[in-house]
């Protein structure tokens, strides 16, 4: 039986969604990008900019999100559109701020904070995280220091500078995706590993949840936590997909 108020809250949330107001969805080559059209009219972002995507592949993927909406438009089922809006409205002119925020996560990266026990968890962390730290050191030139528990450890400035250079190589859309992926995992290294082809999105997501999965193996899974994790994975997977689509 549902708890009192939960059914009505869900129903209220659903009825508050906007109704689908368009019939056709198309894309138009604008020369400098691909515009999304609803019934032949250009779509605007929340910031009132035109929704123009850098590649046809990304434009088609965003258009498909709009095509699959039914009677109501549910933003929760449109993660690529949300990311594109964020990239257009929130990144241009603020690239250094976005990179700085990603680097703030790198300064306390998930992969650098290790459990001192139980042994099974220690081994799981080592197996999943050590290869990425070794890759960051050898390929990105960014060795990072480790700490046990939650005691903060300062990272070498030279390493953070190397990570900054790696991030600067990415365009507006990729930075928006990396920002989302870093926030969802607590690890700039995992986000960069996906962007640079060192890990698949699934591998990075598993690595970000070593601690949680170990706890689940010991004590079982909480149903509400599983729902939240599924929603977060949807956003992470969409960000990783956007990275690949802007390269097409």
pLDDT at position 150 is 83
- Structure tokens, 172: 């507006």
Map residue 248 onto helix, strand or coil.
Answer: coil
Indicate where the chain has its CATH 3.30.2180.10 domain(s).
6-74
Q: Are 198 and 42 in contact (CB under 8 A)?
A: no
Q: Are 83 and 180 in contact (CB under 8 A)?
A: yes
pLDDT at position 3 is 47
List of the chain residues with pLDDT < 50: 1-12
Map residue 119 onto helix, strand or coil.
Answer: helix
Q: Could you tell me which residues come within 8 angstroms of residue 6 by beta carbon, excluding any fewer than 6 positions away?
A: none
DSSP letter, residue 19: B
Spatial separation of the C-alpha atoms in residues 32 and 237, rounded to whole Å: 27
Render the burial of 173-193: b for 16+ CB within 10 Å, e for the rest: bbbbbbbbbbbbbebbbbbbb
pLDDT at position 79 is 97
pLDDT at position 149 is 84
pLDDT at position 247 is 85
Indicate where the chain has its CATH 1.10.3580.10 domain(s).
95-245
Spatial separation of the C-alpha atoms in residues 52 and 2, rounded to whole Å: 43
The matching CATH number, chosen from 3.90.420.10, 3.60.70.12, 3.30.2180.10, 1.10.3720.10, for 6-74 is: 3.30.2180.10
CATH architecture of 95-245: Orthogonal Bundle (1.10)
| Pair type for strands 25-29 and 52-53 | unpaired
88 burial level (CB within 10 Å; 0-12, 13-18, 19+): buried
pLDDT at position 13 is 54
Spatial separation of the C-alpha atoms in residues 46 and 43, rounded to whole Å: 10
């Amino acid at each position: 039986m549902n708890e009192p108020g939960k059914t009505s809250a869900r129903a209220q949330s659903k009825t508050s969604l906007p109704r689908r107001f368009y019939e056709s969805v198309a894309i138009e080559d604008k020369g400098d990008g691909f515009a999304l059209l609803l019934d032949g009219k250009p779509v605007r972002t929340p910031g009132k900019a035109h929704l123009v995507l850098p590649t046809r592949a990304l434009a088609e993927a965003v258009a498909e999100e709009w095509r699959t909406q039914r009677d109501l438009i549910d933003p929760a089922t449109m993660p690529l559109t949300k990311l594109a809006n964020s990239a257009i409205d929130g990144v241009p002119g603020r690239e250094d701020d976005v990179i700085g925020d990603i680097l703030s996560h790198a300064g306390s990266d998930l992969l650098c904070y290790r459990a001192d026990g139980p042994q099974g968890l220690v081994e799981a962390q080592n197996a999943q995280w050590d290869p990425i730290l070794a890759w960051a050191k050898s390929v990105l030139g960014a060795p990072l220091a480790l700490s046990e528990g939650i005691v903060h450890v300062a990272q070498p400035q030279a390493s953070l500078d190397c990570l900054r250079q790696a991030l600067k190589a990415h365009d507006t859309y990729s930075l928006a995706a990396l920002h989302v992926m870093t926030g969802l995992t607590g690890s700039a290294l995992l986000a960069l590993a996906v962007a640079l082809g060192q890990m698949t999105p699934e591998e990075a997501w598993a690595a970000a949840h070593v601690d949680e999965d170990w706890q689940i193996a010991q004590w079982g899974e909480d149903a509400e936590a599983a729902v939240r994790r599924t929603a977060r994975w949807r956003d992470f997977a969409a960000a990783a997909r956007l990275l690949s689509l802007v390269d097409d």
